[in-house]
Amino acid sequence: MVILFYIAAIVAILAALGVVLQKTPVYSALLLIVVLCSLAVIYLLLGAEFIAFIQVIVYAGAIMVLFVLVIMLLNARRETPGQGSRMARWLGGPLLVVFLAEIVLAAWRQFPGAASPPPLNAGPAAIGQLLFRSYVLPFEVTSILILVAILGAVVLAKKS
Amino acid sequence: MVPLAHVLTLSAALFVLGVAGFIIRRNVITIFMCIELMLNAVNLAFIGFARHLGSLDGQLFVFFVIVVAAAEAAVGLAIIIALFRNHESLTIDEIDSMKL
- Which has the closest alpha carbon to A131: B66, B62, B60, B68? B60
* CB contact (8 A) between residue A154 and residue B78: yes
Domain range holding B21? Answer: 4-87
Q: What pLDDT band is residue A144 in, cutting at 50, 70 and 90? A: very high
Residue-level pLDDT at A82: 67
Question: Does B46 have pLDDT greater than 90?
Answer: yes
Whether A152 is in a domain gets the answer yes
B94 vs A27, which has greater pLDDT?
Answer: A27
Residue-level pLDDT at A9: 95
- Judge whether A82 and B93 are in contact, CB under 8 Å: yes
For testing the chain B interface, which of A7, A27, A30, A74 should be mutated: the one with the most B CBs within 10 Å? A74
Residue-level pLDDT at B16: 95
Whether A107 is in a domain gets the answer no
Q: Which of A61, A78, A95 is the last residue of a domain?
A: A78
- Judge whether A104 and A73 are in contact, CB under 8 Å: no
Whether A129 is in a domain gets the answer yes
Tally the domains of chain B. Answer: 1
Q: Same structural domain for residues A3 and A71?
A: yes
Q: What pLDDT band is residue A83 in, cutting at 50, 70 and 90? A: low
CATH number at residue A3: 1.20.120.1200
Tally the domains of chain A. Answer: 2
pLDDT digits (tens, 9 = 90+) for A23-77: 899 999 999 999 999 999 999 999 889 999 999 999 999 999 999 999 999 888 8
Q: Which residues of A113-140 are buried (b: 16+ CB within 10 A; e: fewer)?
A: eeeebeebebeeeebeebbeeebeeeee
**CB < 8 Å from A in window 33-92 of B:** 33-34, 36-37, 40, 43-44, 47-48, 50-57, 59-60, 62-64, 66-75, 77-82, 84-85, 90-92
A36 vs A115, which has greater pLDDT?
Answer: A36
Task: Give the closest-approach CA distance of B87 to chain A in angstroms.
Answer: 12
Whether B27 is in a domain gets the answer yes
* CB contact (8 A) between residue A84 and residue B24: yes
Domain range holding A26? Answer: 1-78
CATH number at residue B21: 1.10.287.3510
Whether B66 is in a domain gets the answer yes
